[in-house]
Structure 1
Amino acid sequence: MASTTVPEIAPAAAAPARLDRPGLAWALFEGGRIPYVVMLGVVFMPYFAKTVVGDAVAGQAEVANFAKYAGFAAACTAPLLGALLDQRGRRKPWIVAFMAILVGVVAALWFAEPGGAGLPIAVIVTLLVFGKLFYTYTEMLHNSLLAVAASGGSMARLSGLSITIGSSSGFLFLIFILLALVRPEAPLFGLDTESFQHLRIVPIMAALLLVAASVPLLLYARDYPPTNKSWSASFGGAFAYLGGLARHLKARPNAAKFLLARMIYADGITAISIFTGVLAGGVMGWSATELLLLGIGQLAAAATGAFFLARLDMRIGSKRTLQIMLSGMIVALLVIVGTSPDTIFFVRLDGGPLAWDGPVFARVTDIVFLALLLTMTGLTSGTTASSRALLASLSPASEAGAYFGLYAMAGTVTAWLAPLAIGWATAATQSQQAGFVPVIVLLAIGLALLSTVKPSAAPEKENQ
């Protein structure tokens, strides 16, 4: 492995220390990132598919195109970038640069107007590609700082806290959008609903949250020290590290097998977060209000799921907890694929019975679909924390920074696979539900690979 200056890091199994300001600053960063992801999933993507593109099936295909192109770009660039920045040491200046680009791209989505009045669809897709790419870069750098953020404490504990903060921030964000922009006849700021300004302004608000969440990280969070290497030496070290990656991982077989499993199942989970709103809006015909309520419910389910799954993790271990979560997601998706306005798990209901006489989620199938999506969200909420904790137990503490950088990079290598498969399946079957079958396959493959990993109670010993 290429030489990288890494601060002394306490083992993950060390007794948890009191949360300090630098650790909290690292965790607060998720307070802007998760609302951005939720905004895309339940506000912008459904609006783009149904209103800008004008056809739910064609819109899902366009969303698949954006995610596919972004995945290709990340797979080609993120591994080298991560290895290069390991050689340079400091991450925070790069987070500033990438966040500035991301904020500008997200804010530009204001010009995604319906009927071709604003930006062309190709330009919107390009903006989404750049947004996803630079979001991936900031995610990679943020994750790689976990080892120093939790210095002297528990990485699993701090990782879980960041998810709780992000879910809570996203919950409040969607409540505000619902009450201030979607439900009132006259939205806040006098926004025009005819041109969908009340929905197009949401990306701008998400961009402002990204800025606000970055400030504590940049001011207070710990960073790796600069290595003071020249750029030529840094590039040489990065290429040497990537060239020796197979040999290095061969010495850590369980860490290598876990990273491979995570690379596959994380691709499926990412696709779920991107396409859920498009699926619900297109298949079930849910309104903007119902999609926002879905997002609010998902964040509540995520917070609840993360709370209980973290305790399950402590009782039975990260690997078994991940196996339970992936199995549950597969079952939920199988039922979702077979559910529509007049069908539950491929069983047709005569007359489309109503569940209640209300303004939202009135049909029995609406309630079932909603329950399935919330269940799946609750299960997915713990995957990040348990995945990070499992890697911490499989990797040597002295190389935690490098391994968490590799963990972040592994999530980009096949990031194009699920969107590509969803796009093919959707186009071939002309069915949004059938388009989700590849996600089930990816989760199943990840689950099978995870079963080959042998976890340990303490980090693996380094080979002499």
Structure 2
Amino acid sequence: MSRPDRAGLAWALFEGGRVPYVMMLGVVFMPYFAKTVVGDAVGGQAEVANFAKYAGFAAACTAPFLGALLDQRGRRKPWIVAFMAILVTVVAALWFAQPGGVGLPVTVVVTLLVLGKLFYTYTEMLHNSLLASAASGRSMAQLSGLSITIGSLSGFLFLIFVLIALVLPTQGTNMSSATPLYGLDIASFQHLRIVPVLAALLLLVACVPLLLYARDYPSTNKSWGASFSGAFAYLGGLSRHLRAQPNAAKFLLARMIYADGIAAISIFTGVLAGGVMGWSATELLLLGIGQLAAAATGAFFLARLDMRVGSKRTLQIMLSGMILALLVIVGTSPDKIFFVPLANSPLAWGGPVFQRVTDVIFLALLLTMTGLTSGTTASSRALLASLSPASEAGAYFGLYAMAGTVTAWLAPMAIGWATQATNSQQAGFVPVIALLAIGLALLSTVKPSTTVRKDQE
């Protein structure tokens, strides 16, 4: 593997600011918002569903056209500056989300979360679009892998810091100092509300090398009118490619459905664990750390499975495993395992965290599911590459990116509806199982290519 130059490394380092933001939302802020700010785990999950639904709908309506417009304009860095300024501001503003009617109202917090998720999606699109320029003739797969490694390491260190410096001191443990760093007030949850601020700072720091050293595309010097016309023409012409490649079209439809379910899992896992199992902030942080390890382990082994049995079969195995894990998860709580009630809640050990047998089982299921989801992106990309003509790869991967946003509102909307209709967090996850099952069924209709493309040999 060749070493990346300064521009490539600057591109890869950007992921080091993005992963902590995602982990902060999933295992720190969302559970705090649902259980403490809203004050009701079930109602809180419904509010989180509203945030994800609105953010997904906004992305579906704007991201595809924005991506096409950026291709017409050329340069990305000015857009990154604008979008990152908004993202950092709204993430840091989550500091003012306090319980008991103090600080920002719930509706304002949800609005901030929607804006954060939307502009995170925009910056992700911009960052991905710079990969070809950043690689500069080197393997894009290698540079992409390096960025994932940097992001995972950054997320791991970030959660470790939050655990030791901010959360453990509030749990009566001797593992750290008696009070959180910076003199934060525990009574007003400053030790949790500071985490989004720290995540915003990491986003800002990670952005600096990208703006200074990463290669940008040259300006096309097109007028705004010509750019808008070109973007509309590009989007209008993509559908023609699908009629000639029905298997690629069926796969993109399947991926659009199951990817929506997988995205919902990452958003709602911490809320579900905190509400159903009553896990503390320490346990949720340990869950996040474990998920990073499970994702790295899963990606390693699933990549090798993909090479042995093919991308379609590997995706079928992953989706089937996720469905089975979710079926057990929705039937497991402190006093039951897979819908079977327990006479009491037996203890697994006498330690400070995950004490009950059901805690250990629930944790194992969540980590297993994370490990399975870690390989879906790589196998999905590989399967589409084998199904699409090499001369039209750009058009098909443009559709692939669009499919990731078109129905991003569907799973959160369904989760919110099911949660409110049943007054149960676990029942709220049933639509996710349905989405994964539909995606799996559609995937079974796809016939993998029997030929090997020259660019994949």
Number of aligned residue pairs: give it. Answer: 446
C-alpha distance in structure 1 between counterparts of 2:209 and 2:400, whole Å:
24
**1:134 alignment counterpart:** 119
What SS does structure 2 have at the residue aligned with 1:236? helix
Q: In the TM superposition, what is the alpha-carbon distance from 1:189 to its structure 2 partner?
A: 0.4
**1:11 alignment counterpart:** none
What SS does structure 1 have at the residue aligned with 2:217? coil
The equivalences for 1:102-251 within 5 A come to 102-184=87-169, 185-251=178-244
C-alpha distance in structure 1 between counterparts of 2:244 and 2:135, whole Å:
26
**1:367 alignment counterpart:** 360
**2:311 alignment counterpart:** 318
Instruction: Tell me: CA distance 1:392–1:208, structure 2 relative to 1, closer, same or farther (3 Å).
Output: farther
C-alpha distance in structure 1 between counterparts of 2:208 and 2:379, whole Å:
27
Q: TM-score, normalised by structure 2?
A: 0.92
Instruction: Tell me: CA distance 1:459–1:17, structure 2 relative to 1, closer, same or farther (3 Å).
Output: farther
Mean alpha-carbon deviation: is it higher for 48-57 or for 394-403?
Answer: 394-403
Establish whether residue 421 from structure 1 lines up as the match of residue 406 from structure 2: no
C-alpha distance in structure 1 between counterparts of 2:324 and 2:9, whole Å:
36
**1:279 alignment counterpart:** 272
Mean alpha-carbon deviation: is it higher for 275-284 or for 260-269?
Answer: 260-269
What SS does structure 1 have at the residue aligned with 2:346? coil
**1:31 alignment counterpart:** 16
Establish whether residue 333 from structure 1 lines up as the match of residue 326 from structure 2: yes
Instruction: Tell me: CA distance 1:460–1:344, structure 2 relative to 1, closer, same or farther (3 Å).
Output: farther
After superposing on structure 2, the runs of 4+ consecutive aligned residues of structure 1 that deviate more than 6 Å are: none
Instruction: Tell me: CA distance 1:322–1:95, structure 2 relative to 1, closer, same or farther (3 Å).
Output: farther
- Alpha-carbon deviations, 1:433-464, whole Å to 9, x = none? 00001111111122222233344465599xxx
C-alpha distance in structure 2 between counterparts of 1:401 and 1:145, whole Å:
14
Q: Which letter maps to 1:380?
A: T
**1:439 alignment counterpart:** 432
Instruction: Work out which of the residue numbers 349, 358, 368 in structure 2 matches 1:356.
Output: 349
**Does the 8 Å contact 2:238/2:399 carry over to 1?**
no
- Alpha-carbon deviations, 1:401-453, whole Å to 9, x = none? 55444322221100100000000100111110000011111111222222333
Q: In the TM superposition, what is the alpha-carbon distance from 1:193 to its structure 2 partner?
A: 0.6
Q: TM-score, normalised by structure 1?
A: 0.91
**1:10 alignment counterpart:** none
Establish whether residue 76 from structure 1 lines up as the match of residue 61 from structure 2: yes
Q: In the TM superposition, what is the alpha-carbon distance from 1:215 to its structure 2 partner?
A: 2.4
Mean alpha-carbon deviation: is it higher for 90-99 or for 61-70?
Answer: 90-99
Mean alpha-carbon deviation: is it higher for 123-132 or for 216-225?
Answer: 216-225
The equivalences for 1:284-323 within 5 A come to 284-323=277-316
Q: Which letter maps to 1:282?
A: G
**Does the 8 Å contact 2:63/2:405 carry over to 1?**
yes
- Alpha-carbon deviations, 1:297-317, whole Å to 9, x = none? 111111111222223233333
- Alpha-carbon deviations, 1:169-223, whole Å to 9, x = none? 1111000000000011400001001000000000011111112222232233333
- Alpha-carbon deviations, 1:23-59, whole Å to 9, x = none? 3333322211111111101000000000000000000
Q: Which letter maps to 2:40?
A: D
C-alpha distance in structure 2 between counterparts of 1:269 and 1:317, whole Å:
21
**2:49 alignment counterpart:** 64
Q: In the TM superposition, what is the alpha-carbon distance from 1:319 to its structure 2 partner?
A: 2.6
Q: Which letter maps to 1:411?
A: G
C-alpha distance in structure 2 between counterparts of 1:75 and 1:67, whole Å:
12
What SS does structure 2 have at the residue aligned with 1:452? coil
C-alpha distance in structure 2 between counterparts of 1:358 and 1:344, whole Å:
21
What SS does structure 2 have at the residue aligned with 1:114? coil
Instruction: Work out which of the residue numbers 249, 263, 266 in structure 1 matches 2:256.
Output: 263
What SS does structure 1 have at the residue aligned with 2:51? helix
Instruction: Tell me: CA distance 1:400–1:216, structure 2 relative to 1, closer, same or farther (3 Å).
Output: farther
Identity of aligned residues (%): 87
Q: Which letter maps to 2:296?
A: A
Mean alpha-carbon deviation: is it higher for 400-409 or for 199-208?
Answer: 400-409
**Does the 8 Å contact 1:82/1:140 carry over to 2?**
yes
Q: Which letter maps to 1:90?
A: R
**1:93 alignment counterpart:** 78
CA RMSD of aligned residues (A): 2.0
- Alpha-carbon deviations, 1:262-315, whole Å to 9, x = none? 211111111011100000000000011111111111111111112222232333
**Does the 8 Å contact 2:17/2:202 carry over to 1?**
yes
Instruction: Tell me: CA distance 1:223–1:100, structure 2 relative to 1, closer, same or farther (3 Å).
Output: same
The equivalences for 1:2-41 within 5 A come to 18-41=3-26
C-alpha distance in structure 1 between counterparts of 2:214 and 2:383, whole Å:
24
Q: Which letter maps to 1:181?
A: L
Query: Which sections of structure 2, spanning at least 5 residues, go unmatched?
Result: 170-177
Instruction: Tell me: CA distance 1:97–1:29, structure 2 relative to 1, closer, same or farther (3 Å).
Output: same
Q: In the TM superposition, what is the alpha-carbon distance from 1:158 to its structure 2 partner?
A: 3.4
Establish whether residue 342 from structure 1 lines up as the match of residue 327 from structure 2: no
